[in-house]
Amino acid sequence: MKKYQPSLDRRLTEEDFKNLFLKEFANLKNYAHSIVKENETSSDIVQEAFLALWENREKFENERNPKPYLITIIRNKSINYLRNHKKYHPDLEAIEDWEQHLTVQSTDQYTQKQLKAKIQETLDHLPPKCREIFMMNRQKGLKYKDIASTLGISVKTVEAQMAKALKAFHDNLGEFIMLLLAFFMKIFF
């Protein structure tokens, strides 16, 4: 994990705070997103965590790294959100290993380029309806029920088409998946 090295031999000033926010937001949001799986919710949770940090900033005088504090708050808030929506299951938590999303998973540019091309190709080969539904969900962030009502189809159909799209990505991205999973295993096992 990349460590945040604050030069805080003094108080956490507004400027430090802003810099910390800009630097860590994306990573922390990925983390929250890996738990709650909702775009806006994950942004809200990270923002709430930063607000908590700001309100408790006097605790972070003298070099105490605020990042673990943010991570803890985000984790708690995210799990609470799942619980409140009856979506939490400890087995899923154990299988998914959310913490891995705190590290940036970088691949080299070449792989990245190939991956992009492969994803584009997969997208191009999806049946038009399937692609439309997938794009509405992934790019416009529409919920299944909104897609269903916009297109005048059932939620069940949206589910089936989304699954079809995921299957296509899974089947076409095999080599990348294996590469990443192997990498992941090496670190954690």
Partner 1 sequence: MDVPEDILELITSYLSGELNEEGIRRLVNWLNESADNKKLFLEYKKAWELQASIMEPAIKPEEEWENFRRKNLSAFMKNEVKEKRTNSRFGQSYWRIAASLALIFISALAAIYLFRNQEVEILQTQAIKEIFTLPDGSIITLAPNSKAIYDGSYGKKERKIMVTGWAYIKVEKNENLPFRALAGNLEILVSGTSFYIQSSATSQDALVVLESGKVKAYRKGNPSDAIELKPGQAASYISSKDIFTITHPEPNYAAWNTLRFYFNNTSLEEVVTLIERAYSIKVKLSSPDIGTCRLTATFDNQSPEAILQVIASALHLKLEGGNTEFVLKGMPCQSNK
Residues in contact with partner 1 by CB under 8 A are 14, 18, 21-23, 25-26, 29-30, 36-39, 43, 46-47, 50-51, 54-55, 86-87, 89, 91-92, 95-96, 115-116, 119-120, 122-124, 128, 135-144, 146-147, 149-150, 159-160, 162-163, 165-167, 169-170, 173, 176-177, 180-181
Judged by CB, which is closer to partner 1: 9, or 15?
15
CA distance 188 to 185: 5
- What is the sign of the dihedral through the CA atoms of 170, 161, 132 and 136? negative
CB of 9 to partner 1, least distance (A): 22
Give whichever of 10 and 125 is closer to partner 1, judged by the CB atom: 125
Residue 19 CB, nearest approach to partner 1 (Å): 10
Which tokens in the block code for residue 73?
Answer: 């708050």
CA–CA gap between residue 10 and residue 49 (Å, rounded) = 21
C-beta of 72: minimal distance to partner 1 in Å? 19
Instruction: Give whole-number Cα distances, 84 to 65, 69, 142, in Å.
Output: 30, 22, 22
Of 63 and 120, CB closest to partner 1: 120
Question: How near is the Cβ of 10 to partner 1 at its closest, in Å?
Answer: 18
Q: Which residues contact 121 (CB under 8 A, 6 or more apart)?
A: 172
CA distance 156 to 145: 9
